[in-house]
Structure 1
Amino acid sequence: MTGKRLEPGDEAPDFTLPDADGNLVSLSSLRGQRVIVYFYPAAMTPGCTKEACDFSDSMPDLQSAGLSVLGISPDAPAKLAKFREKEGITFPLLSDPDRSVLSAYGAYGEKMNYGKKTTGVIRSTFVVGADGKVEKAYYGVKATGHVGRLRADLGV
């Protein structure tokens, strides 16, 4: 079951998920600031590591532009903590084991993987405005180069 794809202007679905340390993080608690919410298939895989490290490397510039980052995957908090420590990730990684938030954002469903149809996480990124509405929605992004393109789109 694939969730409806979000578009700019849509209300960003609120969520509360545990981070790598088991602390609950809510999107609504960040209202008033712009937030990049990105969904990735699995911690400690090459593409997801590249994407997370690109976001970490960009954090000083993103933060000075008033942007926070949240990374979300189905991984358990313990795996997220290992991933964060191993790669030096500097933003919250959130656990969505039942994929309810992934589905709410249309980031879980049927996708093509090496020419085969599979069901899984669709690598996706959203920029949520200070008003809680989606400013930008990117589906099916490539791990490599995505953060650079996003920064260019945002002028950061």
Structure 2
Amino acid sequence: MSELKTGDLAPTFKLPADGGETIDLAELRGQIVVLYMYPKDNTPGCTTEALDFTAAADAFSDAGAIVIGLSKDSVKKHDNFKAKHGLQVRLASDEDNVVIEAYGSWVLKKLYGREYMGIDRSTFVIDREGRIARIWHKVRVKGHVDEVLDAVRALG
């Protein structure tokens, strides 16, 4: 599978989400979608990122965007994560890793000399026509949400 590039059609998906709902990317056509992939609920970096997106939730909404966090965690874990931190972003569950792989975010990682497969913290802005407008891989959490919001606003 080739790597996604700006301008490519975003791989579609239909995934279970927090609150027992389903997120279907095709149904979101006409809206800007911010899809951010993160390794695991309730870990320091992932919690900070979710809180940062939550703090900017109104600004994303005002810019016409919906924000969706995605990880391999179960819906139950997502529900607990949202409740514990008061999160205002949708959280989708990709336990089978299909969407994460389709977006090229399942990568070889290294930690303390050990290699393993895991989620690359990455963000994709999908425009109203369902095309990839912007991609970030190996995201550093600090300041990231502001950069994503600027990209969303630039789409108008």
TM over 0.5: yes
Displaced runs of 4 or more, over 3 A: 112-117, 152-156
Is it true that 1:54 corresponds to 2:52 in the alignment?
Answer: yes
**Residue identity matched to 2:131:** K
Is it true that 1:121 corresponds to 2:124 in the alignment?
Answer: no
TM-score (norm 1): 0.92
Q: Does the CA-based 8 Å contact 1:4-1:105 persist in structure 2?
A: no
- How far is 1:84 from its partner? 0.3
Alpha-carbon separation, structure 1, partners of 2:61 and 2:150 = 15
Is it true that 1:101 corresponds to 2:131 in the alignment?
Answer: no
- How far is 1:143 from its partner? 2.2
5+ residue gaps, structure 1, are none
Alpha-carbon separation, structure 1, partners of 2:141 and 2:65 = 20
Match of 1:9 in 2: 7
Alpha-carbon separation, structure 2, partners of 1:89 and 1:47 = 14
Q: Does the CA-based 8 Å contact 1:42-1:73 persist in structure 2?
A: yes
5+ residue gaps, structure 2, are none
Match of 1:142 in 2: 140
TM-score (norm 2): 0.92
Q: Does the CA-based 8 Å contact 2:63-2:152 persist in structure 1?
A: no
1:27 to 25, 28, 38: 25
The size of the alignment, in residue pairs, is 154
**Residue identity matched to 2:140:** K
- The two structures, once aligned, show a CA RMSD in angstroms of 1.6
Alpha-carbon separation, structure 1, partners of 2:151 and 2:32 = 14
Q: Does the CA-based 8 Å contact 2:38-2:122 persist in structure 1?
A: yes
